Amino acid sequence: MQLLGIVAFVLALLTSVTLHEAGHFLTARHYGMKATQFFAGFGPTVFSRQRGETEYGLKAIPLGGYVKIIGMTPVEEVAPGDEERVFYKHKPWPKFVVLVAGSTMHFVIAVVLVFISVAAIGVPDPNAPVLTASSACLFTSITAAQIDDPRSNLDATPTNGVCPAGTVAGRAKTAGFLAGDRVLSIDGTQVKTYVAFAKYIRAHAGVDLHVTVKRASGTAVLTVTPLTTSRPSLDDKTKQVSVGAIGIGQDGRIIRDVSILGAVAETPRQIGTMVTGTYNTLVHKLGTIGGIYGKDRARDGFIGIYGAGRISGEVFAAPVPFKYTALGFLLLVASLNLFVGIFNLLPLLPLDGGHIAVIWFEALRDRIKRARGYVGDTVRVDYNKLMPLTLAVVAVFVGFTVWVLGADIVNPIRLNQ
């Protein structure tokens, strides 16, 4: 199943890249520009076919693609007869549309995938007060270091019916809590989120609590007495505090059903969350790039194509119902498309955003000059002068990619961290 997830991710990536290039291609053709090549993938050519003035084909490495539009810059040689169909001779607006069309396709893909996943499957409900299976043994003390260390075994099991040292019989298990129980109320107080449930338990050590839960057989009222334990403070995990605990956790795989109309409203919220995540990664997580080889690598930090593909494999291999797998995969591909679309618009050559910046710089400079009486041809930006900067950006991108790739291989982000 893990291999299936990786293959599905590669196919999704190839489809996204092909649609990106299709955005450039179709808008260029619409404005009369000449596109001589349209290839999916890069590297050696697997096959190609000439249709009209365009060569269509597939390259061996399915991780990229390109469209060759003649005259992207004034320094290119143009064949006789094509002088009026070159990219750089068109007005700013058509050039802008052609360049932004690639990222637009990524945005469309993200919106469509999110809507389909929400309407057909539902939305993740990370706050649902739905419980996992209760622990047979409950630790009397747990530190933040133990929680953060993936090597820590915090699921103690009894031997011959006796819990190991440092643990006692789990209070939730003794009280009869079952996996999948949804908490409705505690002592008559309605519970809407797992956090509210957990905080109530922590605040009532040694007190008999009456918990109403909903399960397949109906509702049940369970009585449980939280054990006084030592746990990290919720406000400062470096501090240990005495709180109540019963030995049960939250089921984080809950999906909430959404109607078609609800999906229309929910899709922008999901996209907004992804945009916020992308912004935080590009702005606030940039400082974590130096620590991606350490044990504290941020799960919401930078990750490369290889790492994303491996996570896709983990999604497919996880022992959960297919709807969880499908939802996780679709949202992963949607978020990746959104990230690529935004990243591609950064005003740096050779990205599309760099070319867009040049276009509007030329247009603004031309308008100012004509306002001062200039009547000649538009003076184009000399791309030869920008070449050192472009090569520097490429070098940084390549180095960054190799750096992240190395971390994805030797210190990968795992779903079960």
User: Which active-site residues does the annotation give?
Assistant: 21
Closest Cα to residue 294, out of 415, 144, 413, 405?
Answer: 413
Helix (H, G, I), strand (E, B) or coil at 8: helix
C-alpha 403, offset from chain centre:
19
Among the listed residues 399, 410, 417, the one whose alpha carbon sits nearest the alpha carbon of residue 296: 417
Calculate the alpha carbon distances from 197 to 204, 214, 251 in Å: 11, 14, 13
Q: What is the DSSP-derived secondary structure letter of residue 90?
A: S
How far CA 184 is from CA of 174, 181, 302, 347, in Å, comes to: 19, 9, 39, 51
Spatial separation of the C-alpha atoms in residues 224 and 201, rounded to whole Å: 10
- Total number of residues shown for the chain: 417
Residues whose CB is less than 8 angstroms from the CB of residue 70 and which lie 6 or more positions away in sequence, other chains included: 33, 34, 35, 36, 76, 78, 79, 82, 85, 86, 87
CA 54-57-60 angle, 5° bins: 150
